[in-house]
Amino acid sequence: MKAFYYLRLLSILIIFMTCRGQDAALRDDSLWSELDDDIRKHNEFDTYSNGFIYDQHTMTKLERLIDSLHLRYKNCEAKTYLALPQGMAAVVTVSSNTAHARGAMQRNIGLEEFRKQFPAAEIQEGHWMVKLRYFNADSIARIYYYSLHPTKEFSEYCDATTSTDKTRGWIIFDEYEGAFTAIHLDGLKQIAIPDRYGALLQYVDCMVDTTTNIFIGDRKKIARRQWNSITEELPEDSCVTAFFTLVDNYPGVPQKPAESQDYDSYTVQYEEYARLYHETRKIRIATLDSNMRYVANRKLLQAAVDEAISGGLQSYDLEFYAERYISAQKALQMKRSYSVTGRCSMDSRPRKHAREICRLAAEADQWDIFLRAHLDIMNDNFSRASDGSYAQAGRQTYLRELEVLNINTIDLLLGSCLRASNTSDHHYDSSPSRIARALAESKDRAAISKLLKTMVSDTTLDLNNRVSIAWLLYGFTQHLEGGQVKAQAKRDFSEAIDQFPFGLRESFREEE
């Protein structure tokens, strides 16, 4: 017997024929209709009568959690944050005599001497190189070197070893087609981030619990669950199968058509079956409500939920029943046991999955999970097989949901755009391009423009962060509607980048 999506065969087929409406294909939305009477369609998400993507009950729950969050921030110990190591460097490309050139670099030859010995090598000086050390999904230490050079871009990833984790000398990268690239570091330095900006970083670390992950369990298993849930065979004694048999034991249940090789005929029959199944939802739920009064049936549901979690199975329907008859905490546990990867640009399932995690986290009084998931929505921080700009434009940032919760939203967003080498593990990093769009929706856009200008112009802030905030200010101006605020923001941007050195100013001028 196929997995417990046996009632959704036609919808599953639709998933692979089109990317639109994939979320409906994986969830019997009819189960939720009785809860959504006050929902009105708005862009990608439904909005409630309060104008938000969370109902008033959820918003009220969140408001009650804020006081404890503010208390946690007040008790956070002051910390000095250090900027990422950065400084001048040269990028060298060697296409001939590579073995000798590599050996010379390993002996730490000086750049000028190297130039004399290998005149055919291409040497680009004047790069402002930044070094970011991080751990990948497999907990392996990696390093990302990238240049802020305005016209000659450079970036390379490598494992963190004694030969690559440096602040001075040569870093040699893998050879490709008989050539290799290396960088010569003049001496990368770390400077302290001024306290007024360090406070923004600390606000993020205090408000977004750095010990919490949205998803639980083995990351590799999480990555495969969404695929196996559709096709995986279940044993005959499966509690999941038994529970869905109970679900479909109600008066007037339509008969599922027998599988047929005549695809067109079967499609017509299945569409009629799906229509009837949807129309009888109230009877189905009412009957199940009555059946779930019995302890044996509640135990069966609990066993089905445990089986789904331990087996890596995914079912929106089962999550609905878990929330309705067990608890929001149990449904949240199910949601957090798998992640969703978008199959194309129009696949809205990853974002809707995150919104459901937000809703359940609020119900379960788990603010940290809510905030991480909502920030993921704001940053569009999801994996997709492809992602066209035409689809990105339709995804909103939902800033207002945070603004009304009485937290320092601007501090939170700006702090998540700054980069430091000694932030807490799992510190939340945002995308400046997405945050720029969110800030353009904020209530006090004029003040934001002035603040961003101050940060970009401040030479006590490291250049890497100044450039990042400059891109944030640039994106902010682009997303503003016409008028005085947009005109002032453009002036702020133009005046701020005047402080940039070695060609960066001219590069940004080209973007104006």
The answer, yes or no, to whether residue 131 has pLDDT greater than 70, is yes
The answer, yes or no, to whether residue 487 has pLDDT greater than 80, is yes
Tokens matching residue 475 = 């994106």
The rounded Cα 369 to chain-centroid distance in angstroms is 13
Residue range 188-209: mean pLDDT, rounded: 92
> Who has greater pLDDT, 411 or 22?
411
The answer, yes or no, to whether residue 14 has pLDDT greater than 70, is no
> Who has greater pLDDT, 85 or 387?
85
Do 400 and 441 form a contact (C-beta atoms < 8 A)? yes
| Alpha carbons 122 and 136: distance in angstroms, whole number | 32
| Confidence at residue 300, expressed as pLDDT on a 0 to 100 scale | 97
The string of DSSP letters for 421-490 reads TTPPTT-----HHHHHHHHTTSS-HHHHHHHHHHHHH-TTS-HHHHHHHHHHHHHHHHHSPSSHHHHHHH
The answer, yes or no, to whether residue 221 has pLDDT greater than 80, is no
Q: Choose among 143, 176, 136, 138: nearest CA to 158.
A: 143
The answer, yes or no, to whether residue 2 has pLDDT greater than 50, is no
Distances (CA, A) of 93 to 104, 125, 183, 191, 318: 14, 12, 9, 30, 56
Residue range 470-494: mean pLDDT, rounded: 92
Contacts of 96 (CB under 8 A, 6+ apart): 120
Q: Choose among 85, 82, 84: nearest CA to 192.
A: 82
Do 215 and 357 form a contact (C-beta atoms < 8 A)? no
Tokens matching residue 402 = 């945070």
Tokens matching residue 282 = 């109230």
| CA-based R_g, the chain, Å | 27
> Who has greater pLDDT, 11 or 398?
398
| Alpha carbons 140 and 39: distance in angstroms, whole number | 45
Contacts of 330 (CB under 8 A, 6+ apart): 305, 322, 323
Do 97 and 120 form a contact (C-beta atoms < 8 A)? yes
Contacts of 496 (CB under 8 A, 6+ apart): 452, 453, 456, 457, 470, 473
At 343 the three-state DSSP class reads: coil
Could you give the angle at the alpha carbon of 298 between the alpha carbons of 293 and 300, nearest 5°? 140
Most confidently modeled of 113-127, 144-158, 425-439, 486-500?
113-127
Give the bridge partners for 170, in sequence order.
184
Place 16 in a pLDDT band, splitting at 50, 70 and 90.
Answer: very low
The string of DSSP letters for 56-75 reads HHHHHHHHHHHHHHHHHHHT
Tokens matching residue 473 = 């200010």
Residues 277-333: tens digit of each pLDDT:
899 999 999 999 999 999 999 999 999 999 988 877 888 899 999 999 999 999 999
The answer, yes or no, to whether residue 17 has pLDDT greater than 50, is no
> Who has greater pLDDT, 213 or 140?
140
Place 259 in a pLDDT band, splitting at 50, 70 and 90.
Answer: confident
Task: Order the strands of the 155-159 sheet from edge to edge.
Answer: 155-159, 141-147, 122-135, 86-94, 180-185, 169-172
The rounded Cα 426 to chain-centroid distance in angstroms is 13
Residues 414-436: tens digit of each pLDDT:
999 999 999 987 889 999 988 99
303: part of which helix (H) or strand (E)?
helix 295-311
| Confidence at residue 158, expressed as pLDDT on a 0 to 100 scale | 96
Residue range 103-122: mean pLDDT, rounded: 97
The string of DSSP letters for 146-183 reads EE--SSS--EEEEE--TTTS-SSEEEE---BTTBEEEE
Residue range 163-189: mean pLDDT, rounded: 95
Q: In residues, how long is the chain?
A: 512
Q: What are the boundaries of each domain within the chain?
A: 1-30+221-338, 50-82+192-215+355-429, 86-185, 444-509
- In a 13 Å sphere around the CA of 338, the CA atoms on its Cβ side amount to 23
pTM exceeding the 0.85 threshold for the entire prediction: no
The answer, yes or no, to whether residue 57 has pLDDT greater than 60, is yes
Place 8 in a pLDDT band, splitting at 50, 70 and 90.
Answer: very low
Residue range 158-162: mean pLDDT, rounded: 96
Per the prediction, the chain carries an average pLDDT of: 84
Residues 379-392: tens digit of each pLDDT:
888 887 766 665 66
Distances (CA, A) of 3 to 29, 236, 253, 463: 19, 11, 20, 54
